[in-house]
Structure 1
Amino acid sequence: MMQLYYASTSAYVRKVMVTAHCLGLLDEITLLASAAHPIERDERIASINPLAKVPALRTETDLCLYDSRVICEYLNARAQGNLLPAHGESRWVSLARQALGDGLIDAALLARYEFSARPAEKQWPGWADAQLKKVSAALGEIERQVVGFNTLPDDIGLIAIGCALGYLDFRFAGMNWRKQHPLTAAWFAIFDAHPAMAATRPH
Structure 2
Amino acid sequence: MQLIMSPASPFVRRVRVTIREVGITDLVEEVPVTTTPLASAPEAAAANPSGKIPSLLREDGPAIHDSRVICRYLNAVADARLYPESRIWEVLTLEATGDALMEAAVSMVYEARFKGTEGASADWIAAQWVKVVRILGALESRWMSHLMGPVDAGQIAVASGLEYIDFRLPDRDWRVLAPALAGWLETFAQRPSMQATRPG
Q: Counterpart in 1 of 2:68?
A: 69
The alignment's TM-score, normalised by the length of structure 2, stands at: 0.95
Q: Counterpart in 1 of 2:197?
A: 200
Counterpart contact for 1:98–1:157, Cα < 8 Å: yes
Q: Counterpart in 2 of 1:14?
A: 13
Pairing of 1:9-158 with structure 2 (within 5 A) = 9-86=8-85, 88=86, 90-151=87-148, 154-158=151-155
**In structure 2, how many angstroms separate the alpha carbons of the residues matched to 1:119 and 1:198?**
32
Report the Cα offset of residue 114 of structure 1: 0.8
- Comparing 119-128 with 170-179, greater Cα deviation is found at 119-128
Name the aligned partner's letter for residue 187 of structure 2: I
**In structure 1, how many angstroms separate the alpha carbons of the residues matched to 2:167 and 2:148?**
21
The alignment's TM-score, normalised by the length of structure 1, stands at: 0.93
Number of equivalenced pairs: 200
Name the aligned partner's letter for residue 128 of structure 2: Q
Structure 1 stretches of 4+ with a deviation exceeding 4 A read 150-153
Report the Cα offset of residue 151 of structure 1: 4.6
5+ long unaligned stretches in structure 2 = none
**In structure 2, how many angstroms separate the alpha carbons of the residues matched to 1:69 and 1:24?**
18
- Comparing 13-22 with 122-131, greater Cα deviation is found at 122-131
Tell me: CA distance 1:7–1:31, structure 2 relative to 1, closer, same or farther (3 Å).
same
Q: Counterpart in 2 of 1:166?
A: 163
What whole-Å deviation, never above 9, does each CA across 1:28-51 have from its counterpart, x for those lacking one? 111112122111121211111111
Q: Find the residue that maps to 2:3 and give its secondary structure.
A: strand
Q: Percent identity?
A: 37
RMSD: 1.5
